[in-house]
Chains A and B, each alone.
Chain A
Amino acid sequence: MKKYLVLLCIISGTNVFAQLPEDALRYSWYPQNGTARVLAIGGAMGSLGGDITATFVNPAGLGFYKTGDAVISPGFFLNKVKADYFNNRTVENKNAFGFGPSGFVMGAPAAFKTNRSYAFSIAVTQAANFNNVIHYKALNHLTSFSEQFAEEFAKSGYSIDQVLDVNSPLPYTSAPALYSFLIDTVTIGNVLKVKAAPEYILDAGQALQQEMFKTTSGGVYEVALGGAVNLKEKWLFGGSVGIPLINYKSNTTFKESDTSTNTNNFFNAYEYNDNFTTQGVGINIKLGAIYRPQEYFRLGLAVHTPSFMWLTDKRTTTLNTQLENPVKGFSATSTDFTNNQPGNSKYTQSSTWKAILSASYVFREIENVKKQRAFITADIEYLNHNGSKFRSDNPEVTLGEKAYYKDLNEAVKDEYKGALNFRVGGELKFNTIMGRLGFAYYSSPYQDATLKASHMLLSGGLGYRNQGFFIDLTYIHNITKDINFPYRLQDRDFSFASIKQQQGNIAATVGWKF
């Protein structure tokens, strides 16, 4: 009961804590994945159809199939990430394997109805690839990373004993910081205040050397079952049920150190490690229609429901602090404050819905492949990044938790916005050989125009199709601009790093017709 009262005090007071709004963006702001052929044309698959990628974009496109496909789509990512923080640039590289849509499509004419055909697919894809690295370091004379702990503890209304409980309400942040004396109470002008040790350096007009190193891995892997019907080659309708499997791993190390030669100013250095995993499963539905007003033209519309996901976070943090005057080191780990086992938080998250409008021009929709010449296709996609909703799924949900998640949903709504994405691409076909080019642009999900963010993808590829076998190879160059906040403060100005990522993606698709 005491804990509930304290939680309610926090809510009614000036400060509210909850799951991070950034978690919403993780499951909405990433480029469309596809087979190598689709990636080469910018990922546009809203109206073109005839490819297994349609299962994940516009399932009506499966309706073009009257034959069968079996495909696998391996890929390889080469990441080069530049981070600018207080005018200091740091560059890191990270490579990773991935894969696009792989599985089976089976199409066949209807048994007793002419001018009608059906198609079904079962496929798996890596919808999002989280393999990345962010590294930056610079001198900061304005704020300290540790001030977020001081701020959190001061505004929480908890006593030191409550925070240092073996089942602490602030086990990952304030508890290790208090235990290792990175933050502590200090009397200033007869008032007992909470102060972080690095603040002594900043108050003296000197700078802190800050360094952040964050690696992430995993992805969203989606298994989907799709089906479509083709009515008189005029209207195609389709739907798919997707089961996203979420596996996200994040390891963050943040270091701060005193840059002065003064060994009597209470603070030398600390290193904070924050490791957590998010795992879970979800479900979503995609519905679509394609209309062919006349030969060569295809118009498409698709709507994706939000993915409703059941997620579990497991988290541990460690903190090593080196103090001065007297010189002494302290180490703390969050498991000391979570009953000697990693913290385990369960919650549900519904991601964003999206709608895709698309058009294609296919030059010569004819059986003789020697006379098939080219196509051009384009998608416009609307996606509301601020539509994500969180809810606690812990076995015992307190009133405080309910209020946390309600405020979090409001914060997500305020922080992000709906965005338009654009994909365009085309192919030239020379009997068995094909050449392709594509372009895609994903606009900023942030409400605040100060925060520059976008994905721009340029792609090109080749394909070969003969003797019941096909292979496609594509290179995609993804230029991503984004921002990264190492920490946020309520009472002081805080800074962010500008991220510019150059990602090369080599994608291949091998397939057999049956």
Chain B
Amino acid sequence: MKFKFLLLAVSAAVLASCSTTYKSGQTPDDVYYSPKRALEENHNRQQDEVKNVSSEDREIRMSTYDRRWRSIDTDYNYDYSYSPYRYGYDYGYYYNPYYYPCPVYTKGVAIRNPINTTPRTANLRTYSNSNTLITNQKTSGTYQVNSRKAYTNSNGSTGSFIRRVLTSAQNNSYNNNRSPDNNNRTYTPSNNNTNSNNSNNQGSKSSGSVSRPSRGN
């Protein structure tokens, strides 16, 4: 957070120190109208004066004043100029301090445990499209809705009955029709590795498993 403040303060100081050409006179508002800047207008005026003069005309004009312009031959396109940064006449030979013809071996590569890449998970079936039975807590009846999921909201239209039941109850005990045994939650491992781990047992371990503590009795 301090870094953010510092960044803002430094930015403001830098920006405030920028020279501005609008300290006197009107400050343009680009939303309404953005005028050409004063400096650019002068520059453009000068450009308007010379932009129609071709380079050839300029050479002829200059050559009348300076004899050095008379020897310029711009039709010759080969470039024999010397550059200290070019080496070997551009045949691709040059010195590269980072190039070494032998392979470079790095040592000390750390070996780490493999990273678990399991994504955060959601049961997508709870988002999927299916007809759903909504339970009416008041009548203990059910009705079917064409909802993609089964939710009962105490604050929304479908859940208003739940709110009444909850607010009228004082002992946290309700007459709901929740089925105690959920037949959809059977323990059936797909690889028949069915170590029976009833709640009173301590689970058996494979070599890669984390040992469960004793549940106790």
Contact = CB atoms under 8 A, between A and B. Distances in A.
B119 A19 contact: yes
A345 B117 contact: yes
Given A67-B34, A206-B173, A490 B151 contact: no
A281 interface: no
B22 A165 contact: no
B113 A498 contact: no
Interface stretch (B54-62, B63-71, B97-105, B175-183): B175-183
Interface string B157-183: 111001100110000111110101111
B171 to A, nearest CB: 9
A314 B155 CA distance: 34
A343 B21 contact: no
Contacts of B144: none
Given A369-B28, A493-B151, A344 B115 contact: yes
A14 B23 contact: no
A485 B149 CA distance: 12
Interface in B1-36: 1, 4, 8, 11-12, 15-16, 18-24, 26-36
B152 A328 contact: no
A18 B116 contact: no
Nearest to A96: B1
B115 A339 contact: yes
B195 interface: yes
A185 B188 CA distance: 10
Contact of B121 (A170, A188, A394): A170
Contact of A165 (B29, B154, B191, B208): B208
A448 B126 CA distance: 13
Interface stretch (A147-155, A239-247, A284-292): A147-155
Most chain B beta carbons < 10 A, residue from A85, A141, A313: A141
A175 B203 CA distance: 13
Contacts of B131: none
B195 A159 contact: yes
Contacts, number: 396
Most chain A beta carbons < 10 A, residue from B26, B47, B163: B26
Contact of B174 (A167, A205, A323, A491): A205
A192 B213 contact: no
Given A141-B176, A369-B27, A369-B32, A67 B113 contact: no
B31 A48 contact: yes
B172 A207 contact: yes
Contact of A372 (B29, B116, B149): B29
B147 A491 contact: no
By secondary structure, the A interface counts as mixed
B209 A184 contact: no
Contacts of A483: 153
Contacts of B83: none
Contacts of B40: 66, 108-109
B124 A203 contact: no
Contacts of A365: 32-33
Contact of A467 (B24, B37, B166, B186): B24
A344 B117 contact: yes
Interface string A395-438: 11000010010011011001100000000000001001000000
Given A67-B30, A67-B35, A194-B186, A184 B197 contact: yes
Contact of B20 (A66, A157, A395, A514): A514
Contact of B188 (A21, A70, A157): A157
A157 B190 contact: yes
A489 B194 contact: no
Interface string A478-493: 0000010100111111
Given A159-B194, A512-B15, 19 more contacts: A66-B40, A67-B34, A150-B185, A152-B123, A161-B195, A175-B210, A185-B197, A186-B198, A186-B199, A191-B186, A340-B113, A343-B116, A347-B119, A370-B26, A429-B29, A432-B27, A483-B153, A488-B126, A498-B153
Top 8 A-B residue pairs of the complex, sorted by shortest distance between their CB atoms: A468-B22, A157-B190, A468-B20, A50-B31, A338-B116, A50-B30, A488-B126, A339-B113
11 contacts: A6-B190, A50-B34, A51-B31, A64-B30, A139-B166, A142-B176, A155-B123, A165-B210, A169-B118, A367-B28, A470-B27
